[in-house]
Amino acid sequence: MKLSEDHNIDREILLEAERLFYTYEGESTPALNGLSLTIKRGKKIACMGANGSGKSTFFLCCNGIYTPSSGSLYLSGRPVGRTKKDLLMLRRKVGIVFQDPDRQLFAASVRQEISFGPLNLGFSEEETRRRVDAVMEELGITAYAHKPVHALSGGQKKLVSIADILVMEPELIILDEPAAALDPFYTEMVHQITRRITERGITVMMATHDVNYAYEWADEIILFDEGRILRQGHPAGLFSDHALLKKTHLTPPMLLTVFHQLQSRNLIREKSPAPRNMEELKSRLTSPPDTQEQNGFPASPPDTQEQNSCLAQQEELSI
């Protein structure tokens, strides 16, 4: 009984960091200051925290690029050493999409760029070609397979840098601020791709400063602060903790603020959990007494009225 339980826990936890310390050369304050956390398989995890709070350093440790001065890392329950074999295993299972594509993309053509990873993993040219083509098809970048990387736009470069990692089929994909410097079109595209990646069962860890997106998307939020984990938890609980948010200079997500305001004015059904998106919020509004209710939704004209009152509330809030 005990044994099977242990086994279950091992299977569920993908990556575990235990008291990691890391200091950059020539710096006095450590970038990682005894950081411990566990990453569960199949979760969508948003990493938040100020610049310099240790997110990127931690990511590079997850991939074996930086060696922590002390502490240990476990992959699927097994400690990761510094042997070549261990590092190769770690890098095969954990992929990083860097924030700046120009930092990652080195090859002259898109297809060659994407082929780098699988060839390093030891796949034949035949198999590599098949995988590269499949990933390009999936991300809709086949049209510029033969284009030089420097001729692509910022958004296109981002998609290529995601393809770079996706083609290696890792178990954990780390996206370091994937929407940074992207226009709304490519931001939405990256979000869609992220959704599809998680649907495939790949664990995604994403650094982001967008509280609204993190709140809606993530299963779990990890708050970084000065090289440590300040809090790891469910978005609704974490973002309702105002003292915590103040400490990390984060603002609560708009949806949650609106929800709390509506709740305090008794416009929300009692005891309903915090909504994760606009649809859920709408379904939790109490219907005005004089309108008929259909399937839990107010009829359409009052619906707009409802929204208007919602907006009015929001405006009031912002004042």
Partner 1 sequence: MIIIDRLCYCSKLRYVNAGEKSAFTVLTLAACILSRSCAVALFVLAATGVLTVYKGGLPLFRYLKLMSMPAAFLLLGTAAIFINISKVPLGAFAFSAGSYYITGSFQGLRQGAELILTALAGISCLYFLSLSTPVTDILTVLKRLHVPALILELMLLIYRYIFVMLKLAEDITVSQHARLGNRNLAASRKSFAAMVSSIFILSIRRSGQLYDALESRCYNGTLRVLPEDHPAKASEVFCIAVFELFLYLAVIFLKLSGGMP
Q: Which residues bind partner 1 (CB under 8 A)?
A: 60, 63-65, 88, 91-92, 95-96, 98, 102-109, 111-113, 115-117, 119-121, 125, 128-129, 132, 146-151, 164-165, 168
- Beta carbon nearer to partner 1, 121 or 245: 121
Rounded to the nearest whole angstrom, what is the least distance from the CB of residue 116 to partner 1 in the complex? 6
SS3 219: coil
The b-or-e profile of 29-51 (16+ CB within 10 A means b, else e) is ebbbbebebebeeebbbbbbbee
SS3 64: coil
SS3 238: helix
Instruction: Pull the structure tokens for residue 264.
Output: 């305090």
Rounded to the nearest whole angstrom, what is the least distance from the CB of residue 127 to partner 1 in the complex? 11
- Beta carbon nearer to partner 1, 146 or 247: 146
Residue in 172, 178, 184 with CA at minimum distance from that of residue 209: 178
- Beta carbon nearer to partner 1, 13 or 119: 119
- Beta carbon nearer to partner 1, 126 or 315: 126
Rounded to the nearest whole angstrom, what is the least distance from the CB of residue 281 to partner 1 in the complex? 40
- Beta carbon nearer to partner 1, 206 or 223: 206
- Beta carbon nearer to partner 1, 80 or 96: 96
- Beta carbon nearer to partner 1, 15 or 211: 15
Rounded to the nearest whole angstrom, what is the least distance from the CB of residue 85 to partner 1 in the complex? 12
SS3 45: strand
Rounded to the nearest whole angstrom, what is the least distance from the CB of residue 190 to partner 1 in the complex? 18
Order of strands, edge to edge, in the sheet holding 70-75? 32-40, 13-22, 70-75, 78-79
- Beta carbon nearer to partner 1, 113 or 177: 113
Residues 6+ apart with CB under 8 A from 221: 45, 46, 48, 214, 231, 232, 233, 234, 235, 238, 239
Rounded to the nearest whole angstrom, what is the least distance from the CB of residue 98 to partner 1 in the complex? 6
Residues 6+ apart with CB under 8 A from 29: 23, 226, 227
- Beta carbon nearer to partner 1, 131 or 284: 131
CB atoms within 10 A of CB 289: 5
- What does the angle CA 238 – CA 243 – CA 245 come to, to the nearest 5 degrees? 55
Rounded to the nearest whole angstrom, what is the least distance from the CB of residue 117 to partner 1 in the complex? 4
Residues 6+ apart with CB under 8 A from 275: 255, 259, 281, 283, 284
The answer to whether residues 41 and 198 touch, using CB atoms and an 8 Å cutoff, is: no
Rounded to the nearest whole angstrom, what is the least distance from the CB of residue 132 to partner 1 in the complex? 7
Rounded to the nearest whole angstrom, what is the least distance from the CB of residue 39 to partner 1 in the complex? 17
Give the C-alpha separation, 213 to 150, whole Å.
30
